[in-house]
Structure 1
Amino acid sequence: MNNMTRSVWRPVRFALLVVGMVGTSALMAATALVAPSAAQSPPTVAVAEKPRLAIRAIAATPAVTAQAKVDGTDNALMQIEQGADVQLLSAIEATRRFEIVARADLPSIIKEQDLTQSGNVNVLDPQAARAFQLAGARYVATLTISNYQEVVEKTELLNQFGTSKAERRTINLQAVLKIFDSTTGSLFRSTQVTLSESAVNEIMPGVEQKGVKTNVVLGAVAKKLASDVANAIADSLAPARVIGYTLGQITFNRSAESGVSAGQIYEVFVPGSAMIDPDTGEQLGAEEVHVGWARVTDAGARFSTAQAIEDRGIDRGAMLRLRTQGLPAGVDPNAKVTGSSASTPGAASTSASPSAPASAPAANAPTTNAPATNPPSATAPATTDPAAIAPAASAPIRMAIFVKQRPVSVAPEKVSVFEDLVSADSTGPGVQIIRREDLVNAVNRIAPAGPNAGTDLLGSEAVDRILSNQTSAVQLAAQMKADVILTASITALQRFKRHLDDPTTGTHTDVDQWTLVTTYGLIDGVTGASLAAGTVQSDYAKRDTPELKVEVDAIDVLLRDAASRIGAAVRATVADTRTRLAATPAADVMVKFSAVLADLSIPDVRTNEAGEYVVGANNYNLQPMNVMVKVDGVAMGAAPGAFPLRPGLHRARFERPGLEPMEMMVNAREGLEISVPLQFTPEGRANWQRDAVFFNDLKNGAVMRDAELIKVRAVADFLRQSNIRLDTTNVQNLNLGGQSIWWQLLQ
């Protein structure tokens, strides 16, 4: 089971819809896919293997080493390098996120293997070292010290005992951490580590001291360097994850030993749309969508807990990232939320890390064909065809296919040829084809909404824009009632000509070679997440000699090969993910939205026994009514209120006259409640400040004068006319301790 596994078992349903687009025209065809038997068993949740990590020895650049030698600090630098080297392995092991393979200690291991090979060790012993059996490492980390500075400050201090000598030793160090993906040789992540540590030593008069007490700073620097680098590696390859969420308390898989401490602020993310390089087709990971803030309350030995401050859809499996600069402006540091996770235990273990590159299935990376003198075969291997595995389900599968043309060198009529080929190679029996008019209507309804509003995009540009946005893609799938959307694009076509005329050998040839690049993507219609994506390069060559002339439509040959391999990839993905896709879309969940005016409140004013109006200790937040809620570009109703949404990520927009519109991403789950902070427009804020500025001068317990009561009534009129209510959620009885003036004025 790979990293696309979902914890919910549902029979597979797909919908297929084919559209080829040239300019603004849409050419559509449909094709079929097979659903598995409903009698299959639910998949078991597999425990993910820890990624293997190799750590290279820490070293300074030659220039830094040379400068340290000139300054006489080369021995101190060497102590830091060697000390951090030893502690780094222990610090990474403490994260319990990786399987460490030996690299810095490789000579010792090779010697042990050589000893076995020498004949002095029982080779039949199952625990004897074996040559050529070293474990490979998916990731390789290197740390290079790029700057090293040691500053020693000395002074003499006069005290009651005489003159003492004091010394401060400060070490400033910068290093660059690089993490490479050894399977591709590419740089996965690079980050800078900066630290500064000091130690002070004071020698009292008459005291003889041997040794240098400030050498303690060397150990402190080595330990801090190892800890910071270990945390940076863990955050890059295996970010902290929410493993429990109950009544606002987040439990996450980081410990005190990995640097967590009470009071730290963490930002909470969930994986969003897959990011694919448009030039190379390389999968770059996934977007990180903000869903909340949290403050650490306890750092434990195996896990830590935090109090959620903001919740836009925190759930098991969400990522946490330390924010050293604290909460951003506009987030109430005293806020507490009481949400709970809606997912089942174990779901987090099956989700893919959006940061680390996932291992793509074989279907996602078709091999490149070498130039051939014969047309490549369009027949896919039988082992990858899901039609041979399971009979068609009773419910038809619905898939949408969009075929697009990029290069002008490919004739427009070839798009329909490619469309038919992709349709035929991607599907099988048991598929319901979505009508062309349904597709066109769905695109036309979605194009002017949400992030596409005001663009007036048509045809292929509109579809590109819709499918590039996760929420719009989900909305398009819902409009078409499609379970899966497949996009295929003719991306590039190149032609090379070679002529050879060698009289000495009597060789005369003309070689024509064509290279066609196509891309594809498979999108889950329920969540908008990418199921598969890749780039296919098809090559074809023909050779003419004086005795033989070959005439062939190379474009058709290349399109047939590309469609065959895209189809094989799609069928393999369907077969691989059939245990993770739903027979029916996930049931809607109710999400409650309310609004509050950011950074604005009014003081409590109550009558005392003498009938005077007295300023109270409480402040009431202001809650605007009738805030229009739009989700994925579709108007849902007015807040405050609860609305049914599909589980997963959605783009929500909140609008109301007199207030600035606001957009946010929400991760919908059952029972989620979100309070949206809105702000007045400049005109509305000016009106508010004109009427309510006097609140700033009121003190708790002060008796209000008649002039101030007149201003209070003016504020009440403003709130009533603006349809803004007081948020009394935390007040059980508004008239407890005397009647509230706001109750009299606003009821």
Structure 2
Amino acid sequence: MYIPAQINKPIGGHMKNFLRITMMLFIFTASSAGIFAQEKAAAPAKPEKPTLAVLPFVLEPRNIQINVNESEMKIQVVESEFADQLLQNLVKSRKFSVLERSFVEKIMKENKLTESEYCKPGEEQRIGKLLVADFLVVGHVDRVEFLVESKYIEITKETSIRLKGTMKVHFRVVETKSGKVVCANTITRKLDSRDIPAAERRNMTGGDYRDRLFTDCAVSASNYILEGIYPVKIASVQGEELVLNRGEGTGLVVGGQYEVYSQGDIVKDPDTGESIGSEETKIGLIEVTSVQQKFSKAKILKSEGVLEVGGICRQVEKKEKDVEPATPRATPGW
């Protein structure tokens, strides 16, 4: 077979240079891709939310009897359902990774921890480490009362029923790493059936009244916990309108007013050197105008300084006077 002489010629200098450059480019590209992949893999991970566990709230004394409209409420129902209500509200805040109650109970059972043990001061740190939780919420319920009053209305020939309820809980939040109590409080909430519209309470059962009281108390407790760890803050400023970093189910309501504070220097305990907070300066007053799923909006009512992103918002508590009517109401729903 005849082969042209040109094809049998050895590769010339230009061709060798071309192949050499091509090989160098290939090696450089592969090396760059490897370095980029390593840098991408080594990029810092997004900070995880702190983990929080809520233990069942023990009812004390244990021999108490609770009746709601002639039906007895089991002690276990009080303990578990209030903790569930509190847990749900903390989940809505999106600030924590909240452990499921079933998981908490499983760990407690495996380690043979009784209710009397996990409520003892000082035990929280050990339990928190078993649960691998950053924060632990523990507490007890020392008052759950329901009083049913009936009155015959001569004018309408009807018997009016009035139900009153009271719930009192104590709780504390412990940072498991240090054993430090981050915040603690006692909350008392009352329920009066006459404050509920007649059309709504007409079909309400004893369980409905119980749920309403538990929810009110749990919302107050969860808001206090959030305030102690993550207070409401300004997320963005859009002219005269502010966006707050809390949404539905976290205690913010339309019309609620908040004082805005700017943070100053950190204050330390001169004896221990421990940080005990930071200086705060009041710079304004705002009012919530809308509450959405993950954030809320507010308008500025008063400004004594520059309202900026990160400003702390503390709710203005309304003082309510408990005034009884001079004479009993002579209508159904008294």
- TM class by shorter-chain length? 0.5 to 0.7
2:129 is equivalent to residue 136 of structure 1 = no
* Aligned 8 A contact 1:76 1:218 in 2: no
Match of 2:318 in 1: 325
TM-score (norm 2): 0.66
2:63 is equivalent to residue 66 of structure 1 = yes
Measure the CA separation in 1 of the matches of 2:52 and 2:66. 33
Alignment of 1:479-518 (within 5 A): none
Measure the CA separation in 2 of the matches of 1:111 and 1:79. 19
Cα offset, 1:270, TM superposition: 2.1
Q: Tell me the amino acid that sits aligned with residue 313 of structure 2.
A: L
* Aligned 8 A contact 1:269 1:289 in 2: yes
2:240 is equivalent to residue 248 of structure 1 = yes
Match of 1:365 in 2: none
Q: Tell me the amino acid that sits aligned with residue 141 of structure 2.
A: I
Secondary structure at 2:209 match in 1: helix
Task: Quickly say closer, same or farther: Cα 1:49–1:292, change in 2 above 3 A.
Answer: farther
Q: Tell me the amino acid that sits aligned with residue 222 of structure 2.
A: A
2:165 is equivalent to residue 171 of structure 1 = yes
Measure the CA separation in 1 of the matches of 2:84 and 2:230. 22
Match of 2:24 in 1: none
Cα offset, 1:168, TM superposition: 1.2
Match of 1:56 in 2: 55
Identical residues among aligned pairs (%): 21
Secondary structure at 1:151 match in 2: strand
Task: Quickly say closer, same or farther: Cα 1:96–1:316, change in 2 above 3 A.
Answer: same
Measure the CA separation in 1 of the matches of 2:293 and 2:67. 44
Cα offset, 1:102, TM superposition: 4.4
Measure the CA separation in 2 of the matches of 1:212 and 1:301. 28
Cα offset, 1:226, TM superposition: 2.1
TM-score (norm 1): 0.31
Q: Tell me the amino acid that sits aligned with residue 291 of structure 1.
A: I
2:289 is equivalent to residue 302 of structure 1 = no
Measure the CA separation in 1 of the matches of 2:277 and 2:152. 57
* Aligned 8 A contact 2:268 2:274 in 1: yes
Number of residue pairs matched?
Answer: 251
* Aligned 8 A contact 1:150 1:172 in 2: yes
Cα offset, 1:192, TM superposition: 2.0
Task: Quickly say closer, same or farther: Cα 1:103–1:80, change in 2 above 3 A.
Answer: closer
RMSD of aligned Cα (Å): 3.3
Task: Quickly say closer, same or farther: Cα 1:297–1:215, change in 2 above 3 A.
Answer: same
Task: Quickly say closer, same or farther: Cα 1:169–1:146, change in 2 above 3 A.
Answer: same
Cα offset, 1:70, TM superposition: 11
Cα offset, 1:299, TM superposition: 1.0
Cα offset, 1:178, TM superposition: 0.8
Q: Which residue of 173, 177, 182 corresponds with 1:183?
A: 177
Cα offset, 1:289, TM superposition: 2.4
Match of 1:276 in 2: 268
Measure the CA separation in 1 of the matches of 2:65 and 2:176. 33
2:139 is equivalent to residue 146 of structure 1 = no
Match of 2:193 in 1: 199
Task: Quickly say closer, same or farther: Cα 1:103–1:97, change in 2 above 3 A.
Answer: same
Q: Which residue of 85, 88, 100 corresponds with 1:87?
A: 85
Stretches of structure 1 that go unaligned for 5 or more consecutive residues are 1-43, 113-132, 201-208, 327-747
Cα offset, 1:189, TM superposition: 0.9
Task: Quickly say closer, same or farther: Cα 1:68–1:275, change in 2 above 3 A.
Answer: farther
Bigger drift between 214-223 and 259-268 goes to 214-223
Task: Quickly say closer, same or farther: Cα 1:321–1:170, change in 2 above 3 A.
Answer: same
Measure the CA separation in 1 of the matches of 2:162 and 2:74. 15
| Higher gyration radius (CA) | 1
* Aligned 8 A contact 1:249 1:307 in 2: yes
Measure the CA separation in 1 of the matches of 2:290 and 2:182. 32
Match of 2:309 in 1: 316
Measure the CA separation in 2 of the matches of 1:143 and 1:304. 30
Task: Quickly say closer, same or farther: Cα 1:73–1:233, change in 2 above 3 A.
Answer: farther
Measure the CA separation in 2 of the matches of 1:186 and 1:110. 21
Q: Tell me the amino acid that sits aligned with residue 63 of structure 2.
A: A
Stretches of structure 2 that go unaligned for 5 or more consecutive residues are 1-42, 111-128, 195-201, 320-334
Q: Which residue of 207, 210, 220 corresponds with 1:228?
A: 220
Task: Quickly say closer, same or farther: Cα 1:137–1:285, change in 2 above 3 A.
Answer: farther
* Aligned 8 A contact 1:80 1:221 in 2: no
Alignment of 1:286-297 (within 5 A): 286-297=278-289
Q: Tell me the amino acid that sits aligned with residue 83 of structure 2.
A: D
* Aligned 8 A contact 2:92 2:248 in 1: no
Task: Quickly say closer, same or farther: Cα 1:261–1:70, change in 2 above 3 A.
Answer: closer
Match of 1:96 in 2: 94
